[in-house]
């Protein structure tokens, strides 16, 4: 899938948060969006996914050339867009495995072989070193920060979206877990030609991932773009240089 965002403006209530962002993510490309807290990164991610609380007030989101900016989130998911939330919500009474199976069926628009599905869940649980039986619990209920992030990589592995947006996949993870998450996301993206947008404000996870394009977002706008060398530059100089005083 090819995503092209053109001069996107997004409001939360009456306030403009995303102020004219253009971004093109080709099939299988790996992009990173970095920027300080509050710059609108999560809002941009939610707008691509179609979060109902947001209002797109201008611009377009094209998926393979079709404007999806008015399309409901579940239809975008069915098209193959996946968003890993920065703060995944806990849903009592919805079993994690049930949830995942329903999502898989909805995206496949057909029945999903239960044995194969459970086998997939099982092998990825081991691969991601997910312990503490979280797979048997309600969605995100009592999951630690790190477990939520791993559980979302498990979703990614089973759902195999065409475009995955990961919002701070490193938050709440210890160093070993960051490595596991990064390596598995890399492997999945390469194997399935998944487009990838990783949002982060720290560069640590990027020592295990090799993005092709880096975008810096400050105050609702992309203020700088570059290749991998941009990460080292940001690490050295910070975001300060982009912030208007």
Ligand X SMILES: Nc1ncnc2c1ncn2[C@@H]1O[C@H](COP(=O)(O)OP(=O)(O)O)[C@@H](O)[C@H]1O
Interface contacts to ligand X, rule CB under 6 A: 12, 17, 35, 37-43
The CB-of-237 to ligand X minimum distance in angstroms stands at 19
> What is the enclosing helix (H) or strand (E) of 192?
helix 175-192
Round to whole Å and give the CA distance between 135 and 185: 19
User: What are the structure tokens assigned to 211, written together?
Assistant: 């993005």
User: Choosing among Mg ion, ligand X, none, which partner's interface includes residue 43 (Cβ < 5 to 8 Å by kind)?
Assistant: ligand X
The CB-of-43 to Mg ion minimum distance in angstroms stands at 8
Contact set for Mg ion, span 130-169 (CB under 5 A): none
Strands in the chain per DSSP E:
3-12, 15-25, 30-34, 54-63, 66-67, 81-84, 91-95, 138-139, 163-167, 195-200, 213-218, 221-226
Residue with tokens 């949830």: 99
User: Choosing among ligand X, Mg ion, none, which partner's interface includes residue 17 (Cβ < 5 to 8 Å by kind)?
Assistant: ligand X
Contact set for Mg ion, span 176-235 (CB under 5 A): none
Q: Which is nearer to ligand X, 177 or 217 (CB)?
A: 217
Q: Are strands 91-95 and 81-84 parallel, antiparallel or unpaired?
A: unpaired
Stretch that binds Mg ion, among 80-88, 107-115, 141-149, 218-226 (CB under 5 A): 80-88
User: What are the structure tokens assigned to 68, written together?
Assistant: 């999806």
Contact set for Mg ion, span 40-79 (CB under 5 A): 41-42
Q: Which is nearer to ligand X, 14 or 113 (CB)?
A: 14
Burial class (CB in 10 A: 0-12, 13-18, 19+), 139: buried
Round to whole Å and give the CA distance between 141 and 127: 21
Q: Which is nearer to ligand X, 47 or 107 (CB)?
A: 47
The CB-of-103 to ligand X minimum distance in angstroms stands at 24
Binds Mg ion (CB under 5 A): choice among 86, 141, 171, 203: 86
Query: Applying CB under 5 A, which residues contact Mg ion?
Result: 41-42, 86
């Amino acid at each position: 899938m090819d995503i092209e965002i053109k001069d996107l403006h997004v409001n939360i209530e009456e306030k403009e948060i995303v102020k004219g962002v253009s971004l093109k993510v080709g099939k299988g490309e790996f992009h990173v969006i970095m920027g300080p807290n509050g710059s609108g990164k999560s809002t941009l991610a939610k707008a691509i996914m179609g979060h109902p609380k947001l209002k797109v007030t201008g611009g377009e989101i094209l998926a393979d050339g079709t404007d999806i900016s008015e399309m409901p989130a579940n239809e975008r998911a069915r098209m193959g867009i996946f968003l890993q939330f920065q703060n995944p919500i806990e849903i009592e009474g919805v079993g994690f495995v049930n949830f995942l199976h329903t999502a898989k069926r909805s995206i496949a628009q057909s029945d999903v072989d239960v044995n194969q599905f459970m086998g997939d869940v099982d092998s990825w649980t081991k691969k991601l070193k997910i312990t503490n039986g979280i797979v048997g619990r309600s969605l995100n209920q009592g999951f630690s920060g790190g477990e939520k992030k791993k559980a979302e990589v498990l979703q990614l592995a089973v759902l195999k979206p065409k475009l995955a947006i990961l919002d701070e996949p490193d938050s709440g993870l210890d160093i070993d877990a960051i490595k596991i998450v990064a390596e598995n996301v890399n492997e999945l993206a390469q194997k399935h030609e998944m487009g990838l947008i990783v949002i982060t404000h720290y560069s640590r996870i990027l020592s295990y991932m090799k993005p092709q394009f880096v975008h810096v977002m400050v105050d609702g706008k992309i203020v700088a773009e570059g290749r991998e060398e941009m990460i080292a530059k940001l690490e050295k100089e910070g975001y300060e240089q982009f912030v208007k005083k």
